[in-house]
């Protein structure tokens, strides 16, 4: 059973680098300086003469996907299919659709179920 009163402290038990615990004595602190990987942070409450009570929190930081720009030149009145994910990558293998930003003028753009029609 955890102590009812005492002093709490956050420490980093493991991780790919040393993170910065902004306020180690606050139960709701922030952590900065994280890189991709798995971290374990430990909250320890001490209240002598009782044995310290601990709880671990596991945090997984995903490696950001790489989204490259896509470009196509097409003749007038010709349908073109563009796989906008073909030159993108994600370490965990899951590329999800996102936001399209079309840089074009004087043309009508129609988005129909993940397809773009000019």
Q: Which tens digits make up the pLDDT trace of 3-23? A: 567 899 999 999 999 999 999
Q: CB atoms < 10 A from the CB of 41, how many?
A: 20
Cα gap 31→21, rounded to integer Å: 5
Task: Specify which residues 109 forms β-bridges with.
Answer: none
User: Is the separation of the CB atoms in 7 and 45 below 8 Å?
Assistant: yes
CATH assignment of 7-61, among 3.40.50.720, 2.30.110.10, 2.60.40.10, 3.40.50.2000 = 2.60.40.10
Q: How many residues does the chain have?
A: 118
pLDDT digits (tens, 9 = 90+) for 32-89: 999 999 999 999 999 888 899 999 999 999 888 888 877 777 777 777 777 777 788 8
Q: What six digits make up the tokens of 42? A: 């430990």
Residue 89 DSSP symbol: B
Q: What is the pLDDT of residue 43?
A: 96
Q: What six digits make up the tokens of 14? A: 């493991």
User: Is the separation of the CB atoms in 21 and 41 below 8 Å?
Assistant: yes
Q: Where are the domains of the chain?
A: 7-61, 64-117
């Amino acid at each position: 059973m955890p102590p009812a009163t005492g002093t709490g402290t956050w420490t980093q038990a493991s991780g790919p680098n040393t993170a910065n615990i902004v306020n180690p004595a606050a139960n709701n602190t922030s952590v900065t300086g994280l890189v991709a990987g798995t971290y374990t942070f430990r909250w320890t409450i001490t209240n002598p003469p009782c044995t310290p009570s601990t709880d671990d929190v596991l945090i997984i930081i995903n490696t950001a996907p790489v989204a490259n720009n896509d470009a196509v030149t097409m003749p007038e009145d010709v349908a073109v299919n563009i796989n906008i994910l073909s030159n993108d990558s994600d370490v965990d293998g899951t590329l999800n659709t996102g936001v399209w930003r079309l840089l074009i003028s004087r043309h009508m753009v129609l988005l129909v179920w993940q397809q773009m029609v000019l």
